[in-house]
Amino acid sequence: MKGTLYIVPTPVGNLDDITLRALRVLREADLVLAEDTRTTSVLLSHYDIHVPLVSHHKYNEHGTSEKVCRDIMEGKKVALVSDAGTPGISDPGFLLARTCASNGIEVVTLPGATACIPALVSSGLPCDRFCFEGFLPQKKGRSSALEALREESRTMVFYESPYRLVATLEQFIGVFGPQRQCSVAREISKMHEEHVRGTLQEVHSHFVATDPKGEIVIVVAGAPAEPRGAHRNKYRDGGEQQQKD
């Protein structure tokens, strides 16, 4: 009888931000796959959970996914966790989930912690429709990725390193304009959680003066909608101007 792959979200900050179901699944698992076993050991120890841990991260997931898949086919219950948040969201997880699904293994993803949703909802920007961009390419393809978002009307959510935050905000100003509204969330669910809101220019100035630290989520307002009839009037006015000329 086949086992199951459980994808288990873990706290992004406060260790209390874990569900009762997640704790039960971790206790009942035959094996826990961890992005960093040292980080996950702290969580498991906090909740007195004693389960074998195996490293599963972006540098070895191609080699471990097939073996884990075989273990599950033999009946093992395997739980996949990342250092923080939901595996697969800017963390390892996609490859294993795809491998298991393609082999007919049940993949069960538990709802739970992720940094992007609290940052989005707390931003004060529209959150009924949004696009999650995660980490932008660091070098190749970065400019084209931003250009593709220039006219995006939905609220945009990005992850960023504190070491690149100021430079990234400068790039956003160049693409979206200095007056575009944004919010930078720092250290979600941790003791020093902070939300800095304002225009891109104002938020950029804040972090030039105040060295950013911790995990960063940037939320940027979408492009403003073109006034109704503006497109039509543009051509009408152009036509009138041509007639006058």
pLDDT tens readout for residues 30-69: 999 999 999 999 999 999 999 999 999 888 888 888 889 9
Predicted confidence at residue 79, as pLDDT, reads: 97
Name residue 135's beta-bridge partners. Answer: 159
Predicted confidence at residue 229, as pLDDT, reads: 58
Which stretch of DSSP H or E encloses residue 44? helix 37-46
Predicted confidence at residue 139, as pLDDT, reads: 86
Predicted confidence at residue 237, as pLDDT, reads: 47
Asked if 103 and 123 sit in the same domain, the reply is no
Per-residue pLDDT of the chain (245 residues; tens, 9 = 90+): 789 999 999 999 999 999 999 999 999 999 999 999 999 999 999 999 999 999 998 888 888 888 899 999 999 999 999 999 999 998 888 999 999 999 999 999 999 999 999 999 999 999 999 999 999 998 889 999 999 999 999 999 999 999 999 999 999 999 999 999 999 999 999 999 999 999 999 999 999 999 999 999 999 999 998 766 555 554 444 444 444 44
Residue with tokens 């979600």: 188
228 within some domain: no
Asked if 24 and 60 sit in the same domain, the reply is yes
Number of structural domains, the chain? 2
Asked if 96 and 136 sit in the same domain, the reply is no
**This prediction's pTM:** 0.87
CATH number at residue 193: 3.30.950.10
Asked if 125 and 101 sit in the same domain, the reply is no
Question: CA–CA separation, 240 vs 99, rounded Å?
Answer: 62
Asked if 25 and 96 sit in the same domain, the reply is yes
Predicted confidence at residue 228, as pLDDT, reads: 60
Q: Which two tokens stand for residue 128?
A: 């009924």
Burial class (CB in 10 A: 0-12, 13-18, 19+), 225: exposed
Tens-digit pLDDT profile for residues 61-94: 888 888 899 999 999 999 999 999 999 998 888 9
**What are the respective helix, strand and coil percentages of the chain, to the nearest 5?**
35, 20, 40
45 within some domain: yes
55 within some domain: yes
Asked if 214 and 154 sit in the same domain, the reply is yes
Residue 219 identity: V
Asked if 96 and 149 sit in the same domain, the reply is no
Q: Are strands 216-220 and 31-34 parallel, antiparallel or unpaired?
A: unpaired
Asked if 104 and 167 sit in the same domain, the reply is no
Asked if 121 and 216 sit in the same domain, the reply is yes
Q: What residues make up the domain containing 157?
A: 116-220
